């Protein structure tokens, strides 16, 4: 499946680094999402964008900064992360909010 | 806040046995979706239920949506090794079309 792509697939970073995760969807969808998946909390919604506008921010710390330049691309900028931020970060898209979601393969992030 | 509780967290079965996972919401949902995540993979959409009391089947999988639209279940008949993974339910709020995810049930086939 190549409808939703994410890069990089794996990322190791130190707590002082700045990095960005990229998501691209080729499905013509209007809504895009960032999720965090870890062993302790299986699937946590972080951010929702609909028509490039952020519609949900689930009390995510400011060290995570999303950017949605257009309806096909979504970024997650990372800065001064903590080891507990290590997780699988999943991007998803849907035709509109509430419709079935199509997930990317995820970025496995390790913070040292 | 509104929650969707999913049980059990894990279920170990022998191949050929049945498997069921349940989701319960504190409030009425407009619809509920089910996803499957294989080990090392990402969630993949299985089905959406919209109507009160709705039952849908996909081969060995049976999905139900309760009459009050607050609970749902997924039942797999005669499990196979290809069924291994985590099954998530996600209920949609009426108010803002946001999905509320259950914690998932991990299906494990005993060797």
Residue A3 contacts B, CB cutoff 8 Å: no
pLDDT at B100 over 80: yes
Least CB–CB distance from B45: residue in A45, A56, A100: A100
Annotate A48-108 with DSSP letters as a single string.
Answer: EEETTEEEEE-S--TTEEEEEEETTEEEEEEES--GGG-EEEEEEEESSTTS--EE---EE
- Minimal Cα distance from A96: which residue of B? B97
Q: How many of the other CB atoms lie within 10 Å of CB of B110?
A: 8
B66 three-state secondary structure: coil
Q: In this structure, what token pair is assigned to residue B12?
A: 């170990």
Lowest mean pLDDT among A85-89, A101-105, B97-101, B102-106: B97-101
A25 forms beta bridges with A4
- What would the pLDDT profile of B32-88 be if each residue is shown by its tens digit? 999 999 999 999 999 999 999 999 999 999 999 999 999 999 999 999 999 999 999
A77 three-state secondary structure: strand
Q: In this structure, what token pair is assigned to residue A73?
A: 């691309």
User: What are the φ and ψ backbone dihedral angles of B82, each rounded to 5 degrees?
Assistant: -70, -10
Q: Are B74 and B87 in contact (CB under 8 A)?
A: yes
- What would the pLDDT profile of A31-65 be if each residue is shown by its tens digit? 999 999 998 777 899 999 988 777 777 789 999 99
Residue B63 contacts A, CB cutoff 8 Å: no
Q: What is the pLDDT of residue A51?
A: 81
- Minimal Cα distance from B93: which residue of A? A98
- What would the pLDDT profile of A77-109 be if each residue is shown by its tens digit? 999 999 999 999 999 999 988 899 999 999 999
Residue B10 contacts A, CB cutoff 8 Å: no
**Distance of alpha carbon B109 from alpha carbon B16, whole angstroms:** 9
Q: How confident is the model at residue B1 (pLDDT cuts 50, 70, 90)?
A: low
Least CB–CB distance from B103: residue in A42, A56, A90: A42
């Amino acid at each position: 499946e190549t409808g939703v792509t994410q890069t990089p697939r794996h990322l190791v970073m130190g707590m002082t680094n700045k990095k960005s995760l990229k998501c691209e969807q080729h499905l013509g969808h209007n809504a895009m999402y960032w999720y965090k998946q870890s062993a302790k909390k299986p699937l946590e919604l972080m951010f929702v964008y609909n028509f490039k506008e952020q519609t949900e921010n689930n009390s995510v710390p400011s060290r995570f900064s999303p950017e949605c330049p257009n309806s096909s691309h979504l970024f997650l900028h990372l800065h001064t992360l903590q080891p507990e931020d290590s997780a699988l970060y999943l991007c998803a898209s849907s035709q509109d909010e509430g419709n079935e979601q199509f997930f990317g393969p995820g970025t496995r992030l390790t913070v040292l | 806040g509104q929650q969707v509780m999913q049980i059990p967290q894990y279920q170990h079965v022998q191949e050929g046995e049945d498997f069921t996972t349940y989701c319960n919401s504190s409030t009425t949902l407009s619809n509920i979706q089910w996803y499957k995540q294989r080990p090392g993979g990402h969630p993949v959409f299985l089905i959406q239920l919209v109507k009160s009391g709705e039952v849908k089947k996909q081969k060995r999988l049976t999905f139900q949506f309760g009459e009050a639209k607050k609970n749902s279940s997924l039942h797999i008949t005669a499990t196979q090794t290809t069924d291994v993974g985590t099954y998530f339910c996600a209920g949609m709020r009426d108010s803002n079309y946001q999905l509320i995810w259950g914690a998932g049930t991990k299906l494990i086939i005993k060797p």
